[in-house]
Amino acid sequence: MPNTKTVLSVVAASAVLIPSIANLCILSRRFSSQVTLVIEGYEQEYCYEKLFAATETYLGTKLAPSIQRIKASKREREKKPEIAIDIDQEIFYVFENVEVKWRLVLRKKSEFQNILQARLRSYELSFPKEHKEKVLNSYLPFILQQAESIKEDNKLREINCLRGLSWTTYTKIDHPMTFETIVMDERLKEEIIGDLNTFMKSKEYYRKIGKARKRGYLIYGPPGTGKSSLIAAMANLLNYSIHDWDLDAENFPVSEDIRSVLLHRLDKTILVIKDIDSTITVSTGRRGFEQQKEIQKQFGISYRLHAMLLKLLKFIDGLWLPRINELIIVVKTSKKERLDPALLVPGRMDMHIHMPYCTFSTFEQLAVRFLGFYHVELFQEIQGILEGVEVTPAEIVRELSKSTDSLQGVAKFLREKLEKDEQENYKKIESREKLEDHPEGSGEDRLT
Ligand SMILES: Nc1ncnc2c1ncn2[C@@H]1O[C@H](COP(=O)(O)OP(=O)(O)OP(=O)(O)O)[C@@H](O)[C@H]1O
């Protein structure tokens, strides 16, 4: 360690680029052409000083063969152990033509009194004096940014569900669905991927316009058309966690609680608001209690839930959101037409994504993927049937994965479905005709 200390003022130079860098100092020998920058492992609010931690992470991925001693540690929410160099080990690098030397040192205990153990460790970075500006203004921010993305890649992504007022982490995300495996309209798929990529690259833009970095997607379509699969593909593409909020859950929080639920660290996550069909607005006016009850029963409306939903959206749009760095909000429903219009305004839901029943093109893609071959005759028959029946991709996947002769199975399933649909349609027409012939028929008849 150098014995002559010259502590240069680096705080001003780095204040913009390097956050929390206060415990960084530069040491140099009077006549030496080298300068040494010390980054102390000072502990702050139970986490190491950011630059020290970033250095540790970054150097761990850049170990030179000359290193003889390394250490490994693994935190609970990380996929892999983090590797770091050990005390007194040195590594040399070249950054933009500047030769730098890194070394981890254990400082003498006597230098400190009443100071946390972590501060005893420091990274020393030595480089030629004339490159001080480059190291401070380019190299250190580069390390911070590299470490952030290494950490991000190593983070376990989780699925969290709301129970009461707190989020419970259930499991790590291990859903195999990606944009390569999901079957949907190709143009729509490209549009979604493009939108997500733009969102990912727009950190600077959002900062400039002073807006919270969030994007809202409304995904709608019948059950089994791939809405959840699409959410999984989005989470896999973005490397995000998922926070699943079932608004129908009985333990929906009361008004004041929403804020605390949302203030939970919802960063780099997809907040999925699920199946909120029951929260539709129906103006009941001066209807009697019985009628109101009937409407509630018919649509499964909960007015409390509706009020909560609007509050929730207001909070999401509200001023406090900038605390959240990156958030995707997905509203997933099987009945878009029943949603409150307040939800659909631009800015709240930036993109409306329709997941339809199975088209022939969807079937073709699924079948070729599952079977690995094309059967002209059966495919032609299936194409004809699909024009007349409503069947979901989930049903096709189920049939395709059933037996060895699954293509025949799909065709059989579709023929039966077509027959059943035709019979039901026939019955409906019959009862309508009956009603027209006997308009005085019972109320029950009218309802059917
Ligand atoms: N578009 C699709 N592409 C590929 N597989 C699909 C697609 N749609 C459905 N599947 C298959 O069907 C299963 C169920 O689909 P998924 O849960 O995504 O539908 P959903 O629309 O979210 O249904 P629900 O509204 O009931 O939650 C998936 O695990 C997947 O195997």
Cα 264 from Cα 75, distance rounded (Å): 20
Cα 126 from Cα 14, distance rounded (Å): 17
Cβ–ligand 1 contact at 223 (below 6 Å): yes
Judge whether 377 and 402 are in contact, CB under 8 Å: no
Cβ–ligand 1 contact at 236 (below 6 Å): no
Beta bridge partners of 168: 161
Cβ–ligand 1 contact at 227 (below 6 Å): yes
The pLDDT of 77-83, averaged and rounded, is 75
Cβ–ligand 1 contact at 184 (below 6 Å): yes
Q: What is the 217 CA–ligand 1 centroid distance (Å)?
A: 17
Beta bridge partners of 106: 121
109: confidence class by pLDDT, cuts 50, 70, 90? low
| Tokens of residue 135, six digits | 């190291």
Q: What is the 207 CA–ligand 1 centroid distance (Å)?
A: 36
Cα 438 from Cα 432, distance rounded (Å): 10
**pLDDT for res 274:** 80
Ranges 163-177, 414-428, 430-444: which has the least confidence: 430-444
| Of residues 285, 158, 176, 291, the one with CA closest to residue 228 | 176
**pLDDT for res 293:** 56
Cβ–ligand 1 contact at 334 (below 6 Å): yes
Looking at the predicted structure, is the pLDDT value of residue 336 above 90? no
Sequence-distant contacts of 175-178: CB under 8 A, at least 24 apart: 175/229, 175/232, 175/235, 175/236, 177/229, 177/230, 177/232, 177/233, 177/236, 178/233, 178/236, 178/237
Cα 113 from Cα 119, distance rounded (Å): 11
Cβ–ligand 1 contact at 406 (below 6 Å): no
Looking at the predicted structure, is the pLDDT value of residue 360 above 90? yes
Cα 214 from Cα 316, distance rounded (Å): 9
433: confidence class by pLDDT, cuts 50, 70, 90? confident
Q: Select from 397, 398, 401 the residue to mutate for testing ligand 1; criterion: most ligand atoms less than 8 Å from CB.
A: 397
The pLDDT of 103-125, averaged and rounded, is 71
CB count in 10 Å sphere of residue 216: 23
Nearest CA to ligand 1 atom 17: 228
Judge whether 223 and 357 are in contact, CB under 8 Å: no
Q: What is the 262 CA–ligand 1 centroid distance (Å)?
A: 28
Ligand 1: which atom is nearest the Cα of residue 274?
A: 27
CB count in 10 Å sphere of residue 68: 9
**pLDDT for res 151:** 80
Q: What is the 223 CA–ligand 1 centroid distance (Å)?
A: 8
Beta bridge partners of 34: 128
CB count in 10 Å sphere of residue 156: 15
φ, ψ (nearest 5 deg) of residue 165: -105, 5
Ligand 1: which atom is nearest the Cα of residue 366?
A: 4
Residue range 342-358, pLDDT digits in tens:
777 776 788 999 999 99
Q: What is the 147 CA–ligand 1 centroid distance (Å)?
A: 36
Residue with the larger pLDDT of the pair 187 and 374 = 187
Quick one: what percent of the chain has pLDDT higher than 70? 66
**pLDDT for res 140:** 92
Rg (CA), the chain: 30
Domains of the chain (ranges; CATH) run 11-154 (no CATH), 158-354 (3.40.50.300), 360-447 (no CATH)
* Amino acid making up residue 317: D
Choose from 145-159, 281-295, 418-432 the range with maximum mean pLDDT.
Answer: 418-432
Nearest CA to ligand 1 atom 29: 229
Cα 268 from Cα 274, distance rounded (Å): 19
Determine the distance from the C-alpha atom of residue 338 to the mean position of all C-alpha atoms in its chain, rounded to a whole number. Answer: 26
Q: What is the 412 CA–ligand 1 centroid distance (Å)?
A: 21
b/e 52-65 (16+ beta carbons within 10 angstroms → b): bbbbbbbbbeeeee
Nearest CA to ligand 1 atom 12: 394
pTM: 0.68
Nearest CA to ligand 1 atom 16: 226
* Amino acid making up residue 280: I
Residue with the larger pLDDT of the pair 333 and 316 = 333
| Tokens of residue 341, six digits | 């219009």
Say which residue the tokens 């900062």 belong to: 207
Choose from 139-148, 200-209, 301-310, 428-437 the range with maximum mean pLDDT.
Answer: 139-148
Choose from 71-75, 136-140, 210-214, 318-322 the range with maximum mean pLDDT.
Answer: 136-140
Residue with the larger pLDDT of the pair 202 and 58 = 58
Q: What is the 395 CA–ligand 1 centroid distance (Å)?
A: 9
Cβ–ligand 1 contact at 219 (below 6 Å): no
Beta bridge partners of 25: 38
Q: At what angle do helices 303-317 and 255-263 cross, to 10 degrees?
A: 40
The pLDDT of 8-21, averaged and rounded, is 36
Cβ–ligand 1 contact at 228 (below 6 Å): yes
Ranges 72-86, 279-293, 294-308: which has the least confidence: 279-293
Residue range 253-279, pLDDT digits in tens:
555 666 667 666 677 889 898 865 544
The pLDDT of 185-212, averaged and rounded, is 86
Cα 397 from Cα 374, distance rounded (Å): 16
**pLDDT for res 444:** 44
The pLDDT of 431-439, averaged and rounded, is 74
Q: What is the 180 CA–ligand 1 centroid distance (Å)?
A: 15
Residue with the larger pLDDT of the pair 273 and 363 = 363
Residue with the larger pLDDT of the pair 63 and 218 = 218
Ligand 1: which atom is nearest the Cα of residue 221?
A: 21
Judge whether 10 and 21 are in contact, CB under 8 Å: yes
φ, ψ (nearest 5 deg) of residue 365: -65, -45
**Which sign does the torsion angle of CA 86, 87, 88, 90 carry?**
positive
The pLDDT of 62-68, averaged and rounded, is 79
**pLDDT for res 434:** 77
Judge whether 162 and 246 are in contact, CB under 8 Å: yes
Looking at the predicted structure, is the pLDDT value of residue 298 above 50? no
